[in-house]
Amino acid sequence: MEFSNRLNNLPTQFFASLVQKVNTAVHEGRDVINLGQGNPDQPTPTHIVKALQHAVEDPATHKYSPFRGTSQLKQAAADFYKHTYNVDLDPDSEVAILGGTKIGLVELPLALMNDGDLMLLPDPGYPDYLSGVALANVKYETMPLRYENNYLPDYSALTERQKQEAKLLYLNYPNNPTGATASLAFFEETISLAKETDIGIVHDFAYGAIGFNKEKPISFLQAKGAKEVGIELYTLSKTYNMAGWRVGFAVGNAKMIEAINLIQDHLFVSLFPAVQEAAVTALSESQECVTDLVNLYEGRRNIFLKECRRIGWDIDAPKGSFFAWLPVPEGYTSESFADLLLEKADVAVAAGNGFGKYGEGYVRVGLLVDEERLQEAISRIERLNIFGIEEQGNRPQ
């Protein structure tokens, strides 16, 4: 039996090929420092784990969940947005429960677009946005994220045709892969564009808790009029180290939320109720664990920056997320440099071109190993004698 055209048209999974390269090196007995992943390395906080254990013991959680999630989790999401961002949400009409936000990002084109419709995506950007493009049989065009514009899209560069044809526009701040953040003024500009063009805005807020130098990342919904034009997707994966639990939610525009809920009525019966109860605990109880986690990542970031600059690798400090976006030295492509680091230094990084055309000339590093391993990684790279004072200032334009 042959695969459907939908499956055959799916993009190659970028991270799968990266994992394969790393696994091959590990199977050869090499001590690989894997900085190419985006998988949190810390455990889920104990109080959340205990909440799940308690919930699992309750036979009531062994039954089907309500199709659209429990009222307790929707209320917890709404309350979380109120006390964290001062955003008011109706838990019944403005919250959709997701089995991880990747599901929402991929199913939104299926729920809101027709064959051949146009969506606008950031470049570089999260590669799995393209899965939704392929499954929904829609078109996409990219918005370059350039260093000189602080890795924000330049809306003045959009053509009139793009403004007229586009149905959805995706954003992601703090940004994967660049670590950039967005201002309230940028989100207000986005809302003005959306109202002018009738484009729906989807903000992927996966790293919403992780901002540095005491600058808390801004929610898209904090901008006036945001709920009129778009939604935001929030995952518990990064904020609470719950990546394997697969739980998140979308909030905002009621029509877009209803579209998500309707398609999920036909695909899922929501999440295991015990996981939803644990998610309520995560969102509702003390957030000290989040503060501790952000401090951990900031400490790693600072050590990494110091070590890179020590060897002559001129990099900028990420403002959010747990990624760093590093220019490759002159004479290398993103992929050739990433391959060199793995082959000669046993250090794995993600080649920037895997995130789009405008990712060429960079590699992405995940700050997801301890400080000693980060220092060791840079020491290994230093021994390759690639960097020097003359490399500073080289950056793709």
Q: Return d(Cα 27, Cα 167) in angstroms, integer.
A: 46
Pairing, β 200-204 against β 230-235: parallel
Regarding whether 238 and 107 lie in a shared domain, the answer is yes
Domain boundary among 284, 307, 332: 284
Q: Within a domain: residue 390?
A: no
Tell how far CA 310 is from the center of its chain: 29
Structural domain boundaries, residue 202: 47-284
Q: Within a domain: residue 392?
A: no
Record the tokens describing residue 44, joined without a space: 């889920």
Q: Which pLDDT value is given to residue 388? A: 67
Q: Which pLDDT value is given to residue 311? A: 95
Regarding whether 293 and 275 lie in a shared domain, the answer is no
Residue type, 170: Y
Show pLDDT as tens, one digit a residue, over the chain (397 residues). 999 999 999 988 777 888 888 999 999 999 999 999 899 999 999 999 999 999 999 999 999 999 999 999 999 999 999 999 999 999 999 999 999 999 999 999 999 999 999 999 999 999 999 999 999 999 999 999 999 999 999 999 999 999 999 999 999 999 999 999 999 999 999 999 999 999 999 999 999 999 999 999 999 999 999 999 999 999 999 999 999 999 999 999 999 999 999 999 999 999 999 999 999 999 999 999 999 999 999 999 999 999 999 999 989 999 999 999 999 999 999 999 999 999 999 999 999 999 999 999 999 999 999 999 999 999 999 999 998 644 444 455 4
Regarding whether 338 and 272 lie in a shared domain, the answer is no
Regarding whether 188 and 153 lie in a shared domain, the answer is yes
Helices (H), 346-391: 371-382
Regarding whether 252 and 141 lie in a shared domain, the answer is yes
Regarding whether 176 and 70 lie in a shared domain, the answer is yes
Regarding whether 265 and 177 lie in a shared domain, the answer is yes
Regarding whether 279 and 296 lie in a shared domain, the answer is no
Domain boundary among 265, 284, 303: 284
Q: Which pLDDT value is given to residue 16? A: 80
Q: Within a domain: residue 350?
A: yes
Domain boundary among 243, 263, 284: 284
Question: Tokens 């590699």 correspond to what residue?
Answer: 363
Regarding whether 264 and 153 lie in a shared domain, the answer is yes
Q: Which pLDDT value is given to residue 393? A: 44
Regarding whether 351 and 267 lie in a shared domain, the answer is no
Regarding whether 127 and 193 lie in a shared domain, the answer is yes
DSSP annotation string for 273-298:
HHHHHHHHHHHHS--HHHHHHHHHHH
Q: Return d(Cα 280, Cα 98) in angstroms, integer.
A: 14
The CATH number for 131's domain is 3.40.640.10
Query: What's the number of domains the chain is made of?
Result: 2
Q: Return d(Cα 213, Cα 178) in angstroms, integer.
A: 17
Regarding whether 222 and 106 lie in a shared domain, the answer is yes
Considering the entire predicted model, what is its pTM?
0.95
Q: Which of 103, 39, 43 is nearest to 69 (CA)?
A: 103
